[in-house]
Amino acid sequence: MSPEMVSVMAESGAAASHKPPELSKERLLEIYRVMVLTRLLDDRAMKLQRQGRIGFYVPALGQEASHIGSAAALGADDWFFPSYRDPGIALLRGVPVVSLMHQCYGNAADNTRGRQMPVHYSFKKQHFVSISSPIGTQIAQAAGAAMAMKIRKEPHVAITYFGDGSTSSNDFHTGLNFAGVFAAPCIFVCENNGWAISVPLEGQTASATMAAKAEAYGMPGVRVDGNDVLAVYAATKQAADRARAGHGPTLIETVTFRMGGHSSSDDPSRYRDPKVCEVWKTRDPIDRFKAWLEQKKLLTAAQETEIRARCDAELQAAIDAAEKVGPPAVSTMFEDVYAGRTAQLDEQWAELKDALQRGVVSKGHHGEFPL
Amino acid sequence: MAVMTMVEAINDALRVEMRRDPRVVLLGEDVGIKGGVFGCSAGLFKEFGGDRVMDTPLAESGIVGAAIGMALYGLVPIAEIQFGDFIYPAFDQIVSEAAKMRYRSGGEYTVPMTIRTPIGGGIRGGHYHSQSPEAYFAHTPGLKVVVPSTPADAKGLLLASIRDPDPVLFMEPKLIYRSLKEEVPAGEHLVEIGKARIVRPGKDVTLIAWGGMVGMCEKAAAKCAEEGIDCEIVDVRTIVPLDEATILESVKKTGRAVIVYEAPKTGGFGGEISAILAEKAIEWLEAPIVRVTGFDTPFPYTLESVYLPEPGRIREAVLKVARF
């Protein structure tokens, strides 16, 4: 049995299944602002990548409602185990955009010290757990964090995000199974964007929906219009309330679409008909939310212009700041492998430092790095 | 002090630490009411309850993945993988996640977790209850790999592993789980990670081993002594980080090295030790470095005793380098 699709802001003509959540005007506009900022960040970052100023990028284009709407339903003490297509979560939780930009540049001001490709963020203060590239690994970890919350009898929730491709991974199964068995306060958000790089949804599963998979793990499966930010919010809020009340995990499938490539290294025109995107353009999550806010008289044209101008200025300032910071020192390569440095790491750094100082190491096209 | 087997010493260490630190939890297959298939967690479920001693579903990647989440959140999990041979489904979580978390988050997120798993031959376990997979993990920066060879060391190293701020893979040699008994200090007993142990001082040949092979080396050394060859035995104790200094000091003294491990020869961790000796002690070497190992075959069932290094083959290698 496939669950019905939850929606709040109906596409023209269609009836919405749920009432809008009770959110203050300020909160609604904040969610809107972060969606716009995320969209503009994507746009600027893709251009920076094309200009060769950052090495790589993963756009979240079209998925802003899916991840920002759900993040908005959780609190400061809840923990996030995101995928690499959810930058708006960090922005919504108060991470300044310049921190994301430093990470994309991999510079000395990057809090992760230039250790990972762009968009693999980590923000401890905001409980935004370090992102990795292997698919689905965060799902089992989120289940474990939720088990820990339950063991400690703390009223918090762990939420994890992954794509439709991840539902094929081992850790989707183990994560949902563990959370189900231990009734852990965990929310699993499958952002079903239709594509895992070049493989369409039907290449990942023969299941009619992703939400239907929840049944086998003994938890509710909710299917929500992933481009309807208020519907995503409502579904996540309900799942969080359920988890906090001790009733265990929920799987939420946000039905959305990956409007861009998988990454800056991908050209989707090689494997999918661009006409598909045209249909989804009419369902754009930001346009829909904007129309709804305007209709409810919560957003004026002047406010909208001001929000965009502020986001643009913030982004420009972040890029300017990130460009000014040089690369991390070579010595940092040997730090944080362990809490302390092993004799082997000390020896290898001493050897490399000596080689660098004597000019033995050939200068690559990236130029010189400080010791 | 009480006389204990390694299983009893591990059980004692777990109890000591769970009493001392309420953040410590144990999870794995059959670790609860049953107390583990080897009894390492016997009695702990009764004493600490189901919130701290968790029987999990049968999925190694889930056990380690969940333990990582717990460690990130602030618990100190000890994940048991029932046999080292079954650890491979968790390889991704160990190698890509636990080992890299500190580094990739710029030191913000850490995974103070211990993964306990029985390894090695000696219980007639065939392919899937006998492997020694330490070399796969020694190749992973960010992970520590510990292999005790005595009950007292098992307790001391396990306590040190649980308290270590980084993920530790704690591999327990089944060969000596119950066959070896010795006095184990009661209560607090810590053995520093990263320090090898001179098991037997000697001047002619250095035998380097870990886990179940240390005892084999002791037997071989006793035979060699009868033939006038004085062996020094170094128990590596921790594969990562390796105590190179103790190994080098011994080999520089004897000028001769035999490395014994029960994993397949090719790509085994003894090859790494051999390379270190070649790089840093070649001027002191009087003979080629020789390895006595398992073979490049899957671990056999019926022929287990022939596959495993034993005192005869070790003695022959010692004689070869001594008379080179």
Distance CA A97, CA A25 (A): 23
- What is the C-alpha separation between B44 and B49, in angstroms, rounded? 8
What is the Cα–Cα distance from B213 to B173, expressed in whole angstroms? 9
Cα distance between residue B311 and residue A340, in whole Å: 38
Question: CATH 3.40.50.970 region(s) of chain B?
Answer: 2-184
Q: What is the pLDDT of residue B64?
A: 98
The model's pLDDT over B156-166, given as tens digits with 9 standing for 90+, comes to: 999 999 999 99
Of residues B134 and B1, the one with the higher pLDDT is B134
pLDDT tens-digit profile of A85-117? 999 999 999 999 999 999 999 999 999 999 999
- B59 Cβ partners below 8 Å, 6+ apart? A170, A173, A174, A177, A178, B89
Question: Omega of the bond prior to B309 within 30 degrees of 0, cis?
Answer: no
The CATH class of B197-322 is alpha beta
Q: Which two tokens stand for residue A23?
A: 């959110």
The set of residues, in sequence order, having a beta carbon less than 8 Å from that of A348 and lying 6+ positions away, is: A334
Among A5-9, A142-146, A166-170, whose mean pLDDT is lowest? Answer: A5-9
Q: What per-residue confidence (pLDDT) applies to B237?
A: 98
User: Which residue in A223, A258, A283, A288 is the catalytic one?
Assistant: A258
Can you give the three-state secondary structure of A123-187, one letter per residue?
ECCCCECCCCCCCCHHHHHHHHHHHHHHHCCCCCCEEEEEECHHHHCHHHHHHHHHHHHCCCCEE
Answer yes or no: is pLDDT of A13 > 60. no
Average pLDDT rounded to a whole number, residues A35-60: 97
Q: Report ipTM (2 d.p.).
A: 0.96
Phi first, then psi, for residue B232 (nearest 5°) are: -105, 135
Beta carbons within 8 Å of A169's beta carbon, 6+ residues apart: A135, A136, A137, A139
Where do the CATH 3.40.50.920 domains begin and end in chain B? 197-322
Tokens of A349: 């750094």
Question: How far apart, in whole angstroms, are the C-alpha atoms of residue A206 and residue B29?
Answer: 31
pLDDT of residue A358: 92
For residue B58, is pLDDT > 70? yes
Percentage above 90 pLDDT, chain A: 91
CA distance A332 to chain B (A): 10
- pLDDT confidence tier of residue A365, bands split at 50, 70 and 90: low
Mutate to test the interface with A, among B73, B139, B248 (most CBs of A within 10 A): B73
Between A19 and A185, residue with greater pLDDT: A185
For B:107-146, CB contacts with A below 8 A are: 107-110, 141-142, 144
What confidence score (pLDDT) does residue A15 get? 61
Q: Are A159 and A187 in contact (CB under 8 A)?
A: yes
Token pair belonging to A361: 């190491």
- Does A113 touch chain B if contact means CB atoms closer than 8 Å? yes
Residue A364 has pLDDT above 90, yes or no: no
**B96 Cβ under 8 Å from any chain A Cβ:** yes
Beta bridge partners of A163: A191
Could you tell me the fold of the domain covering B2-184?
Rossmann fold (3.40.50)
Q: Across residues A243-267, what is the average pLDDT?
A: 97
Of B158, B79, B85, B157, nearest to B121 (Cα)? B85
Distance in Å, alpha carbon of A185 to nearest chain B alpha carbon: 13
CA distance B131 to B118: 9
Q: Which of the four pLDDT bands, split at 50, 70 and 90, describes residue B233?
A: very high
Tokens of A105: 């540049």
Residues B263-287 have pLDDT tens digits of 999 999 999 999 999 999 999 999 9
Q: State the average pLDDT for chain B.
A: 98
pLDDT band at A210 (very low <50, low <70, confident <90, very high): very high
* Residue B215 backbone dihedrals phi, psi, to 5 degrees: -65, -40
pLDDT band for position B41 (cuts 50, 70, 90): very high
Active site residue A105: no
Q: CA B213 to CA B259: how far, in whole Å?
A: 10
What is the chain B residue with the closest CA to A125?
B108
Q: Which residues of B touch A134 (CB under 8 A)?
A: 92, 96-97
Question: What pLDDT is recorded for position A366?
Answer: 53
pLDDT at B40: 98
Query: Does the structure show a pLDDT above 90 at B242?
Result: yes
Number of CB atoms found within 10 A of residue B135's CB: 19
What pTM did the predictor assign? 0.97
pLDDT tens digits, residue range B85-118?
Answer: 999 999 999 999 999 999 999 999 999 999 999 9
Q: Report the alpha-carbon distance of residue B171 to residue B181 in Å, rounded.
A: 18
pLDDT confidence of residue A221: 98
State the pLDDT at residue A3. 72
The CA distance from A213 to A205, in Å, is 10
pLDDT tens figures, A159-183? 999 999 999 999 999 999 999 999 9
Residue A119 has pLDDT above 60, yes or no: yes
CA distance B146 to chain A (A): 15
Output the average pLDDT for chain A: 95
Average pLDDT for A303-318? 98
CB within 8 Å of chain B, chain A residues 122-181: 122-124, 129-130, 132, 134, 137, 139-149, 151-152, 158, 170-171, 173-175, 177-178, 181
Number of Cβ pairs < 8 A linking chain A and chain B: 159
Within 8 A by CB and 6+ apart from A227, the residues are: A62, A65, A66, A255, A256, A257, A280, A283, A284, A285, A288
Closest by Cα among A285, A187, A290 to A229: A285
Q: Decide which of A171 and A3 is more confident.
A: A171
- Distance of alpha carbon A24 from alpha carbon B279, whole angstroms: 68
Confidence of residue B302 (pLDDT cuts 50, 70, 90): very high
On whether any CB of chain B is under 8 Å from the CB of A2, the answer is: no
Can you tell me the mean pLDDT for B11-35?
98
Per-residue confidence (pLDDT) for residue A327, from 0 to 100: 95
Domains of chain A, with CATH numbers?
Answer: 5-324 (3.40.50.970), 329-371 (no CATH)
Measured at the CA of B104, the angle between CA B100 and CA B108, to 5 degrees, comes to 105
Give per-residue burial for A74-96: e unless 16+ CB within 10 Å, then b: beeebbbbbbbbbbbbbbbbebe
Q: Which residues pair with B26 in a beta bridge?
A: B53, B78
User: Using CA atoms, how far apart are residues A156 and A286, in angstroms rounded to an integer?
Assistant: 29
User: Measured between beta carbons, which residues in chain B are less than 8 angstroms from residue A130?
Assistant: 101, 104-105, 108-109
